[in-house]
Structure 1
Amino acid sequence: MKINFLFLGLLLALPQLGAAQGWPRLSLDSVLRRVERDNPRLRQYDAQIKAAEAYAKGARTWAPPRVGAGTFMMPYAPARRGEPMDNAMGRGSVMVSVEQMIPSPARQRVTERYLQSRTGVEQESRAYERNQLLAEVRQNYFAWLLLKRKERVLDGTEELLRFIIRSIELRYKYGGEKLSDAFRAKAELQRHHAEVLEVQGQMEEKRMALNTLMNRHPGEIFEIDTTYSRPDYSDAPDTATLARSRSDIRRLDRTLARTRLQQELELTSSRPEFGVQYQHMNTLGRNTPNQYTLMGMVSVPIVPWAARGYQANVAGLSLEAQALRAQRNALVAQAKGRASGLLARLQSKAAQVELYEKNIIPAVLKSYRASLLAYEQNTEQMPAVLQAWESLRAVRLEAINQEMELVQLQTDYERELEQ
């Protein structure tokens, strides 16, 4: 009737993973590389960057020439009766004209720089989207890892519970236990099975989420690397470091530079543009020579009715630049505040996890072992052992829940810093 205490002590160790199933094992770095390479949301930005580069190639083009043909100085009235044929044939000409406007080289240079600036904005937009995706990958990956730990804890406590049930049934035959204790233990086993199914469903959800992020079929099976090192963060970064590391702040800087270039482009509208026009007249008379006209043209954009347009645009762009600077300052301040708050919560949660690992779990484990020893010596009843088992199981699961919250805070903090 004695319970082998040493055997129960061996059962307290968490069971190791079973033999490999032959599925591919993907490390975190491997998943991150696949997401960066294959995720369609990032491919969208790659296409937009190439589109911006293509637009910039047409910045130095000229306006197309204008060609015209028609009659010149043709009379409305036909030739009068008795008028000499030469006079009649000399009325009017057939004209061909060509006109070409010559763009300002300075305006072309500014236009090219302005179109090229869109590439930088799209690159920072891609970097921002990349940071969001990789943070989502880390969150799902680490959550899956900790769910596997929870599954191992549940497997270990299930073996303990089954051993307790066998002990109750054995003692019940000899009148040493109550039948109600066996029913209670079996009910706990069924509740335990329900929790195992929930954990398995959560792991399946994380696997499908990672497959989706890697642009693979959601049902594709793979395993993850279960090694995990907890990072140590001490001080929050300063505003200068945040401004350099965060892509949304850099995107505002690029947008501000693009606004300045657009303002410079509007200012080039005040510069005149030149053009040339050539006309050739082929007269219809026999004695009238052919004629031509060669003219130079220049635009006059400084006249009041033309200048109001670009002057208003320049003033509006100055105000937009002012708004962007204010938005940037606000974003830096908010990022600094969020990073400091997350770091404080992260350090507090890390201390809680360490408290569970070094103090709470060992204390509850000692209580459980003491209950088993008392039960072995017939000085304790089975309900006390079940209560100790429930406490040990709950505190182990709670320790993993606390680490899940720590991983979530870590992911949010690294997302904020774009690490």
Structure 2
Amino acid sequence: MKTKFQIIAMLFAWFIYLPAKAQVQRLPLDSVVARVADNPALQALVAKASAQDAYATGAKSLDAPKISAGQYQVPYQFSPNGGSFMIQAEQMFTNPAKLKAKENYMKGASKITEADKDYLKNQLVAQAKQYYYERVVLEKKLTLLQHSQSLLEYMLKDANIRLTYGKEKLNNIYKAKADLYELDNTRDQLNNEISQKNIMLNTLMNRDKQAVFSVDTTVVLNNYDSALTDTATLANARSDIKSINRNIELQALNAKVEYSKRKPDFGIQAAHMISYGGYANQYILMASVTIPIVPWASKEYKANLKGIRYEVEELQQRKMDVLNQAQGQLASIKVDMTNKKKQIGNYQQNIIPALQNSYKTALLAYDQNTGDLPSVLLVIKDLQTSRMNALDRLQELLTLQVAYERENETTVSALNNQNK
């Protein structure tokens, strides 16, 4: 009767566990990359660009008019026939060319923010891909641990049977148990790292930090080893280069703003005077114009124009430096990727198969009582270490792949084109 209740309780717990497990969301890499757009840092730059566009709508506004009223030419000594009461209005009209240049300059600022947003997005996407690939490799390591655990459990079971017949030593069994328990520590460490990667990915996606999801463990290795990347392709793809180009364009618009200061502004002044003592009322109607080309007024914008030319030169040199650094970085990454692929191939084709054969040989010798348990345990550990090392090389290769795509911005450019 007790066994029946235990079976019912186990079935009930199993049916509760199944829906909970089914609720775990599976997020492929493309979905994670797409959700990075919700990152608050990107949304902040979107809001900043919108603010800059909003500011530009008021660029053509004129100065507020000035209205004044009060006594005009009234003598200090009281006289009912002296002076008048005056109402006056003034308005300055900024040269339309200045307003247009200012508007264009303010509109150009938001283009820089857009380019900066794309640059930040590229960095965040690279982080997301890096964390995702690290999570994938950690999952593969967990699977490898399960395989090693199965081998050790089989050997421990066989050794316990041999112990009952006096064909095995107790210290060897303890050694096998220690190796088995050591896997628990490794598994706990891997699960801890997986939880950290989950939190990092959820942070990038602006989701609940503790939300649990599964990943697609299929790894796609792109062949970038022989890819050719010229300067023109890099300049068109990289958002930091686009940001520099937008800055150069903004400096050109800034130069137009400074050059427009050579143009005069206009003003008008009107006043009405109500005279005291019965004298005729009077009025004032005057126009004014500024003369910005006089030497003491033109010195400022001439100096600013000279400074802008140096600013553009600095931006051009920075652009060349970024392209030079990027080409060198990409070339270095491709060489390193080739080396990592060779190492992975050596593990898969030579080292791991040799250790598998060594395990089979040691196991056969143990079954035939010509070998001992420590030899088998040592081969199992060596085999696990080599497989772990192969996964470490895979992680390094994926890190290089992410670095290459971050430098080349291939993924982000394609994603932006899809969004358009």
Q: TM-score, normalised by structure 1?
A: 0.90
Does 2:234 match 1:242? yes
How many residues of Structure 1 are paired with residues of Structure 2 in the alignment? 391
Shift of 1:141: 0.8
Q: Which residue, out of 173, 182, 192, partners 1:201?
A: 192
Give 1:31-46 correspondences, 5 Å limit.
Answer: 31-36=32-37, 38-46=38-46
Q: Is the 8 A contact 1:65 1:98 kept in 2?
A: yes
1:27 matched to 2:28? The reply is yes
Do the aligned residues in 2 keep the contact of 1:236 with 1:340 (CA within 8 Å)?
no
Q: CA deviation at 1:73?
A: 2.0
**What's the CA shift string for 1:262-311, capped at 9, x where partnerless?**
1221111111111111111111232x221111111000111222111111
Task: Find the partner of 1:369 among 360, 363, 374.
Answer: 360
User: How large is the Cα RMSD of the aligned pairs?
Assistant: 1.5
Aligned residue among 356, 374, 386 for 1:383: 374
The Cα shift of 1:78 comes to 2.3
After TM superposition, give the deviation of residue 229 of structure 1 in Å. 1.6
Distance 2:168 2:20 in 1: 41
Other-structure match for 1:6:
none
Name the structure 2 match of 1:85.
none
**Matched AA of 1:129:** L
The answer to whether 1:221 aligns with 2:212 is yes
Deviation at 1:107, TM superposition (A): 1.0
Q: Distance in 2 between matches of 1:245 and 1:208?
A: 30
**Partner residue, 1:105:** 96
Q: Match for 2:111 among 112, 120, 133?
A: 120
Question: How many angstroms does 1:246 deviate by?
Answer: 0.9
Give 3-state SS (helix, strand or coil) of 2:209's partner: coil
Distance 1:257 1:113 in 2: 11
- Cα separation, 1, equivalents of 2:191 and 2:28: 20
- Note the alpha carbon deviations across 1:208-250, whole angstroms, 9 max, x for none: 1111111122111111122222111122411111111111111
Native 8 Å contact 1:137 1:210 kept in 2: yes
Larger deviation, residues 297-306 vs 223-232: 223-232
For 1:76, what is the secondary structure of its paired residue? coil
C-alpha displacement at 1:321, in angstroms?
1.3
In the aligned structure 2, how far is the partner of 1:405 from the partner of 1:273?
64
Quote the offset at 1:63 in angstroms: 1.1
Task: Give the corresponding residue for 2:263.
Answer: 271
Q: Which runs of 4+ in 1 moved over 6 A?
A: none
CA distance in 1 between partners of 2:153 and 2:318 (Å): 62
Structure whose alpha-carbon radius of gyration is higher:
1
| Residue 277 of structure 2, aligned match among 282, 285, 290 | 285
| Structure 2 alignment gaps of length 5 or more | 1-17, 411-420
Separation of aligned partners in 2, 1:177 and 1:57: 88
TM-score calculated relative to the size of structure 2:
0.90
| Structure 1 gaps, min length 5 | 1-17, 80-87
- What's the counterpart of residue 73 of structure 1? 73
The structural deviation recorded for 1:400 is: 0.7
| In structure 2, C-alpha distance between the alignment counterparts of 1:77 and 1:376, rounded to whole Å | 131
Residue identity in the other structure for 1:25? R
